[in-house]
Structure formats: structure tokens, C-alpha cells
Structure 1
Amino acid sequence: MTTANPAAHFADDATYRPGKIRNRVLWTLQIVLGLFFIIASGGPKLVIPNTLMDNAPENLTIPFGLLIFIGIVEVAGGIGLMVPRLSALAAAGLSVLTVLAAATQAFIADKPAMGIFPLVLAAIFVWIAYERRATLTDLRNTLTR
């Protein structure tokens, strides 16, 4: 008979590392999504923001500064996904960003069907953050030394 020890359970979670195949799947997703957010999503917002705002009048118009901020967050998140120590933190941040994007599409732009893709991305980012949770503990330990 084993005794339930919640402290031991949390210690196991902090040291959890995914298996070899799962680790490869995670890295593949992280690299592909990281490049997507750097090149296709955040990059254009930083390189050609005026063109994006002028050529997409059917999209929700947002302030120029907010567009630049979102681009910076997306590029930083994409880079963070590909840095081993920052992968869980970046995935958690990108999950929040994509949920907010889905909410913007559904409630402000009044196009709820356009919110499905960001919600799928949010679910993937939550899974990545969960699987990489040990990196959060490693990062905390590194910062508190």
C-alpha cells in the first residue's frame, strides 16, 4: 500500500522530461511554430506595418503602436520557442496571445470562425508548456542563484 504524498508528486512534475519520441515531436512543433511566428506572423508586422494596415481594410483596424507591440511579442515568442530554457515560458505566453487573438476575432471583429485557428494554436502551446514544465523550474533555479 502506498501513501499519497502531494509533495512527492510535485517534485516528480518539476523533474519530468518527455521521452525520446515525444521530445522530437515537441522540438519539431517548436521549430516550425517558432519560424511561423518569426517569419509569417510577427515579422511582417515589424517590417511592413503600414502596408499591412493599408492593404487589409476588411481586417480589424488597430492602433499602429499595438500592431508593433504584437509583432514584437510574436517574434520574441517564436525565438523563445527555439531556446531550450525559454521554451515553456514562450509557449505559455504565446498561448495567452493566441487566446486573445481568438477573442478579438470572435467578439470585436465579429468573425468567430476566424478564431478557430488561434484556439488550435493555443491548445498546442499549452501542451508544449506542459511538456516543457521542467524548464520553468530550471529557469527559476538559475535566476534565484
Structure 2
Amino acid sequence: MTILRWVLEAILILMFLMAGFGKVAGSKMHREGFEHWRLPQWFRVVTGLVELIGAALLIIGFWHKDFVIAGALVLGVTAIGGIITHLRVKDSFKDMSMILLLGIISFVLLFITI
């Protein structure tokens, strides 16, 4: 189970580091996304910081298992917010599939760590 936990952690760390840095840096894709979802740009920065904090908690979790629980929970709840955002603007399943997958991975990680 430990190897599975490490693999899931690594996937989430990489994905949320990329997404978090992109949001905080204000990449064109993320700016346009938040306009499409009718969300303010300051919320993009906040979301990016939350994603980076969640990824940092997972990184610490390689040494301290309790941090995995906190990081997976933060990222799982963030993913729920992303899914709700996609549903609110009636995005296609294709547009929502990545955050849905990351949310599932976050909650699987949470439950195998507890």
C-alpha cells in the first residue's frame, strides 16, 4: 500500500504544482478559464495558492504520513469546488474530466492513508 500511496502522491504533487504555479503566475490559459467561469481574477490567485499548499503538504507527507491526510483533503475539497464550477457553467464532461480524476485520486489517497 505504501508504494501505491507514493505513486498517487507524486501524481497529485506534479499536477497541482503545475496548476498552482500557472494560476499564481497568471498564465493565459488560467486567466481565460476564470473569465469563462465568471470568477474574479483574485480568486485565481487564491485557488493557485491553495493548490500549492496542498501539494506542499503532500511533499511533506513523504516523511510524515499525517500531512498526506491534510494535503489530500485540501486538494480533494478544491477539486469538488472545481467540479461545481464546471457544472455551474455547463462545461462538457471532457472539460471537467481532469479535475474529476484528480479529485478521485485525492480521495482515494485520503482513504488509503487513514
Classify the TM-score, shorter chain.
0.7 to 0.9
**Residue 83, structure 1, aligned to residue 60, structure 2:** yes
Match of 2:91 among 102, 108, 111: 111
Is 2:34–2:41's contact at 8 Å kept on the other side of the alignment? Answer: no
Matched letter for residue 106 of structure 2: F
**Cα distance in 2 for residues equivalent to 1:33 and 1:130:** 15
**Residue 125, structure 1, aligned to residue 106, structure 2:** yes
1:100 deviates by: 1.1
- Aligned position for 2:13: 34
- In structure 2, list runs of 5 or more residues that go unmatched: none
Is 2:79–2:103's contact at 8 Å kept on the other side of the alignment? Answer: yes
1:98 deviates by: 0.5
TM-score by length of 2: 0.82
1:24 deviates by: 0.8
TM-score by length of 1: 0.66
Secondary structure of 1:82's counterpart equals: helix
- Aligned position for 1:142: none
What whole-Å deviation, never above 9, does each CA across 1:30-54 have from its counterpart, x for those lacking one?
022102211x20001112x27442x
Q: Which has the higher helix share?
A: 2
What whole-Å deviation, never above 9, does each CA across 1:63-118 have from its counterpart, x for those lacking one?
121111000000111111121231111101111110110111012x2114122332
Match of 2:76 among 86, 95, 114: 95
Structure having the higher Rg:
1
- Aligned position for 2:24: 46
1:124 deviates by: 1.3
